[in-house]
Amino acid sequence: NSEDVRCKCICPPYKDHSGHIYNKNVSQKDCDCLHVVEPMPVPGPDVEAYCLRCECKYEERSSVTIKVNVILLA
């Protein structure tokens, strides 16, 4: 299920831009700042410096398992 995978990038404040969390459904190999952070909040020359500060993690979950546990615990 495409909703069970995502890439989550946590980007701290940079210059005059506040910190932000970005989520996007992408493959594990595309889980990086350049593929997930849209729109890019900084101009071209600052993109590399901005992305180096971001921490991106690929996450998987099983929504079926979560639903079963909720039913059993309810």
Instruction: State pTM to two decimals.
Output: 0.76
Order of strands across the sheet with 5-11?
20-24, 5-11, 55-60
The letter for the amino acid at 42 is V
What is the C-alpha to C-alpha distance for residues 41 and 20, in angstroms, rounded to an integer?
A: 10
pLDDT tens track of the chain, all 74 residues?
546 889 999 999 999 999 999 999 999 999 999 999 999 999 999 999 999 999 999 998 777 777 887 888 87
Domain count, the chain: 1
Name the strand (E) or helix (H) holding 48. Answer: helix 47-53
Share of the chain above pLDDT 70, in %: 96
Find out whether 24 and 34 touch, Cβ atoms under 8 Å. no
| Residue span of the structural domain in which 26 resides | 5-73
What pLDDT was estimated at residue 22? 97
